[in-house]
Amino acid sequence: MKTVLIAGGSGLIGSRLSQLLSEKGYSVRWLSRNPSQGSPYPAFSWDPDRGEMDMRALEGTDAVINLAGAGIAEGRWTAQRKALIISSRVNSTLLLAQKIGELPHPPKVYLSGAAIGIYGDRGDEKLDESSRPGSTGFLAESCKQWEAAIEELSAKLPIRTCFLRIGLVLSEKGGALPKIKLPFYLGQGAYFGHGRQWYSWVHIDDVCGMFMTALENERWSGVYNATAPEPVTNRVLTRMVGRVWFRFFIKIPIPVPAFVLKLVLGEMSETVLSSARVYPKRALEAGYTFGFPELEVGLRDLKARKL
């Protein structure tokens, strides 16, 4: 039985990935700031800000998956919040690099989350892994610092390293989808700004599937876009959510003006107004088969299985 250590295992992706790995016969462990007896998996303490970690977590570990990081949209982007978003990703990566480097027998592979936010606001431009990073905006800047830490780890450790630039993860259990559905419950669906900005979405099980493929396929190395092969605009996404969950809803979604979003959310409005038309070129070239390449099929599956 192979052992996988996951940092950020209690999050949206981490919890589903842990479940799928366990079902496949892996032994799963978590790194947690607050390990408790209520954890569904053995949990070991760590504190990336203090540079502390229970080294027992790494004993006999075959792979490390880092999904740790403060939520991008969980609070207004004050200077303090932006610093936390960056430090939670950079510090966790550097601490794992240090602790793995101390092992006489390190794990064989290190996998990490990253984000398509690195591309910034790019309009209708088609983007893949070879595209340059964005030059403006907090998302692009924070992602560049995050990936710099991953590359530093890769340079230091003699193990295979792979990281996934994750798009808009769709799941009933968290993330963007419940927020998109909420206005419909209140009587009126809504899209953001002009609604033509591209949203590069991905089904929760395809994100997990890509991590599992990267874990098991030794040819996977470097950066991969974890997005479905058919991105859609914000307006199309909103309408499709209405069609799938609210099929008797006849009102056409209305726009929430960009100036209102900027007034309410401040700089964080970048998360809903930016456009990134991202394609998973390397994953497709490597032979990864998406379970849910089309939006409607993916949404109907999430609804049916309550994922």
Domains of the chain: 3-235+262-305 (3.40.50.720)
Residue 175's closest CA among 249, 72, 263? 72
Q: How confident is the model at residue 185 (pLDDT cuts 50, 70, 90)?
A: confident
What does the pLDDT look like over 120-164, one tens digit per residue? Answer: 999 999 999 999 999 999 999 999 999 999 999 999 999 999 999
What does the pLDDT look like over 209-222, one tens digit per residue? Answer: 999 999 999 999 99
Task: Find the range with the poorest average confidence among 45-54, 202-211, 239-248.
Answer: 239-248
What does the pLDDT look like over 160-172, one tens digit per residue? Answer: 999 999 999 999 9
- pLDDT for the residue 245: 93
CA distance 126 to 275: 10
Residue 51 pLDDT exceeds 80: yes
Higher pLDDT pick, 38 / 115: 115
CA 15 from chain center: how many Å? 12
Helix, coil or strand: residue 26: coil
Residue 251 pLDDT exceeds 70: no
Angle CA 186–190–196, to nearest 5: 170
Residue 118 pLDDT exceeds 80: yes
The mean pLDDT of 17-40, rounded to a whole number, is 92
Residue 248 pLDDT exceeds 80: no
**Which tokens in the block code for residue 205?**
């099980």
